[in-house]
Amino acid sequence: MVSFGRCVRTKETEMAVKIQGLTDNARKTAIAELNARLADAVALSAAIKQAHWNVKGRNFIAVHELFDTTFGNLQVHVDEMAERIQILDGVAIGTVEKVAKASTLKEYPTDLTKAEDHIKAICERLRDYGARVRAAIDTTAEAGDANTADLFTGASRTADKDLWFLESHLE
């Protein structure tokens, strides 16, 4: 028997935290969706840093700093996803090797330098990520995990706002 504060885990205990009103199917569905979107968010984070490090052009500092802000906004949701997986008694999968295999996002090109090219490439991936997060909202809500659906709603709202900021540089 292992004690975690007030929660005790034994061989008979399925979860370290017994969440009332959450079925095992809802928990498993949420963990699968969270890990899938975590992989995409980590891959998107790496793409944003690639753009941040290599961007050049007339509006360099503005775009460089915007990429930093977008990265920071995404990291909040990366952490929330990983923590929610732990709350649901899952294992957050975020190693570079696993993310490279699991991410559904298109691989980021490493030969870009122009600000506009980087912005377009990040927007494409951010748009795809946002669509997948919106689908995860529905999947987890239908499975019965409103809290995970709400987490995804927050991530979707942030992705939409960041996409708007980035796309505004293209007009």
Tokens of 19: 């969440």
What's the pLDDT score for residue 164?
98
What's the pLDDT score for residue 4?
38
What's the pLDDT score for residue 171?
78
What's the pLDDT score for residue 121?
98
What's the pLDDT score for residue 21?
84
Candidates 169, 158, 167, 147; CA nearest to 70 is 158
What's the pLDDT score for residue 16?
53
Q: Residues in the chain with pLDDT < 50? A: 1-13
Question: φ and ψ at 39, to 5 degrees?
Answer: -60, -45
Q: What is the pTM of this model?
A: 0.89
